[in-house]
Amino acid sequence: MDFSRSGAEVEFIEHVKRVIEERLRPEHPSWKADMTTPHELWKILGSEGLLGFRHTEDGDVRIPWQMNIHTYRELAQLSGGLAIAAFAHSQLGVQAFHFFGTPEQQKRYMVPGMDGDAVIAFANTEPGAGSDASALTTTAERDGDEWVINGTKAYITNGDLSDHVVFTAVTDPGAARAHRGISQFAVDGDADGLTRMRMQKYGWKESHLSTLRFEDVRIPAENMIGEPERGFYQTMDIFNSSRIGIAALALGTALGSYRMAYDHVRRRKAFGKTLFEHESKRVEFADNLARLEAGWLLVEKAAWLSDTGRESRANASMAKLFNTEEGMGITQWATEAFGARGVMATHPVAEYPHDAKAALLGEGAPEVQKKIIAENIDSVLDEM
């Protein structure tokens, strides 16, 4: 594995940082005050080629993970809410069509999505089906040239403001095993019978988390994505890839809080010298910097494995597990550097622990990551 960066990678990273500083940071205070993600976010990122995919002479292709991880790391340092809104749209919604969509579906959904002209949500989770992604109760029944959808989805990022929703539903309730009876579909956000409601939450404040209720929602038969009864497997393929991005996002959250604390302790004085000049505080920063570096190496390796066509599932889970669990500790520690101000709702550092908690649960709870890692111990050991 080569840790040097190509000219294209360096240019991409500089481009990401420039877009954030010049186009997003000036707008962020008003978005944050309104606790919302405006469509302008996706339009900006789409126009700058930062929604995970790009147009080429050979067609629309995914940006390599070794480059794309920088998008989510940098975005999360500014705002976990903006980062997850962009991530869920591109790496879940748009990616579903990239992996499994027909040419017609890619033209209708993927192209506007990657350009930021349409927002796509991804709805798999239900009130009773979270980590167990096969325990769905939402149903899709065939009626002529249409599917009739009934059920409820919950905790869906961008769900109430999206133009389109990719979702899963049971199409074969008699399947021998539940995960073999699930299919994947697309529905317009304004479809008759679809009710969408924003949920209140801590963490990722600017992003919208929503409940979707399907009541006899009718969609054309051609809105099925991929193969019948392959929806569970398609969803797992999407998650196995996208966990690399959520790991980078979690790392960015921890790194953002670390930078804020580092700037503070070099200015703040106590007992005649800056906080950073106290040996105990310097040791804390050294320890946590090592954890950040270890976390980033895990992300980079998972990205490299994925980009080079190697098996990356276990490594993506290790990157996600490590960065979300360490991120919880680092962000909490960072708030303590600010004393009483660290628990004030008006201080930006207080938001990072909430964002870290949200990242811990998204894309599979820690127990899910440990299950995946445990299933791949032998193959990982063989490579060590």
3-state secondary structure 73-137: HHHHHHCHHHHHHHHHHHHHHHHHHHHHCCHHHHHHHHHHHHHCCCCEEEECCECCECCCCCCCC
**Active-site residue among 215, 325, 363, 383?**
363
Q: How does pLDDT run across 108-153, given as a tens digit for each residue?
A: 999 999 999 999 999 999 998 877 778 899 999 999 999 999 999 9
Q: Where in the chain is the domain with CATH 1.10.540.10?
A: 7-119
Q: Where in the chain is the domain with CATH 1.20.140.10?
A: 232-382
Instruction: Output the pLDDT for position 179.
Output: 85
Is the separation of the CB atoms in 138 and 170 below 8 Å?
yes
Q: Is residue 213 pLDDT above 80, yes or no?
A: yes
For the domain spanning 7-119, the CATH number is 1.10.540.10
Instruction: Output the pLDDT for position 129.
Output: 83
Average pLDDT, the chain: 94
Catalytic-residue membership of 363 = yes
The CATH T-level fold of domain 232-382 is Butyryl-CoA Dehydrogenase, subunit A; domain 3 (1.20.140)
122-229 is a CATH 3.40.50.2300 domain: no
Q: Where in the chain is the domain with CATH 2.40.110.10?
A: 122-229
Q: How does pLDDT run across 282-303, given as a tens digit for each residue?
A: 999 999 999 999 999 999 999 9
Q: How does pLDDT run across 226-270, given as a tens digit for each residue?
A: 999 999 999 999 999 999 999 999 999 999 999 999 999 999 888
Instruction: Output the pLDDT for position 5.
Output: 85
